[in-house]
Amino acid sequence: MIHGVINIHKEKGYTSHDVVAKLRGIVGQKKIGHTGTLDPDATGVLPVCLGRATKVCDLLTEKDKTYEALLLLGVETDTQDTSGTVLKQGDTSALVVNEVEQAILSFVGEYDQTPPMYSALKVNGKKLYELAREGKTVDVEPRKITVYSISLYDFDEKSQSGVFSVSCSKGTYIRTICHDLGLKLGTFGVMSALTRTSAAGFN
């Protein structure tokens, strides 16, 4: 049996569970676990524990993470990213880079974030995305998360899209930061791409 941690670069289209299942076939052992869900559309760092190292899975999941995200303003979807159904569109013609930069910096520190309905969080034993696919909505309690640093380093005023990096605590939804940023700017916002650049000390 293999023991240790493998730093996987997860590709788009795979769930974190898919990665574990694939590795079980490759290395020929069942004792494997990942260290924190990464959405199927997201790419990047996914540390996977094998053998005796599975005992530290929960410990590594608790560690801070860093992401690079693509933001699109003026659109709201049911999933808070561009894979979802468009619900609303807003006027963003007046927004300039300085406004967006100031607004995004206001997220640094602790804030109460309401997880999206399309997430793997469980309510009464059922995952939120399962309820959402059934057309059901439930009240989701906000959770305290921490944004340690956030930086907008590219924003195109014409397309109202940009790139930002964020270092944050466990349980932070980057899609929801995009959504909340849009509201703060008086419009809407969605995430159009996400890459996790570090997790639990792995880059």
Active site residues: 39
What phi-psi label fits residue 71: left (phi over 0), alpha (psi between -120 and 50 degrees) or beta? beta
Nearest to 175 by CA among 33, 80, 63: 80
| Residues in Cβ contact with 57 at an 8 Å cutoff, skipping those fewer than 6 apart | 33, 34, 35, 49
d(CA 193, CA 18): 20
Burial, 108: exposed, middle or buried (Cβ in 10 Å; 0-12, 13-18, 19+)?
Answer: middle
DSSP, residue by residue, 83-114: TS-EEEE---TT--HHHHHHHHHTT-EEEEE-
| Residues in Cβ contact with 37 at an 8 Å cutoff, skipping those fewer than 6 apart | 15, 16, 120
d(CA 16, CA 171): 15
